[in-house]
Amino acid sequence: MSKSTTITVSRETRELLHKLKGRKTWDSFLRELALEELRKKREKIREELEKLLELEYEDVRVRSWAREF
């Protein structure tokens, strides 16, 4: 089993999280929450990259260090 730690949060935050977690353990609930946030951030970045790839070559500004590759 891995080591555990304590995270300090306000009572209001804890109550809100407790309502959201339901019957899950704190570990699985917080891991699920963090993974969902990462998924959303990756999706947003993927959408931004798709927009860049749709631009004409002249519209995309490439940093000087990136031109070397």
pTM to 2 decimal places:
0.65
pLDDT tens track for 10-29: 999 999 999 999 999 999 99
pLDDT at 14: 96
Segments making up each domain of the chain, as ranges: 11-60
Q: Give the 3-state secondary structure of the chain.
A: CCCCCCCCCCHHHHHHHHHHHCCCCHHHHHHHHHHHHHHHHHHHHHHHHHHHHHCCHHHCCCCHHHHCC
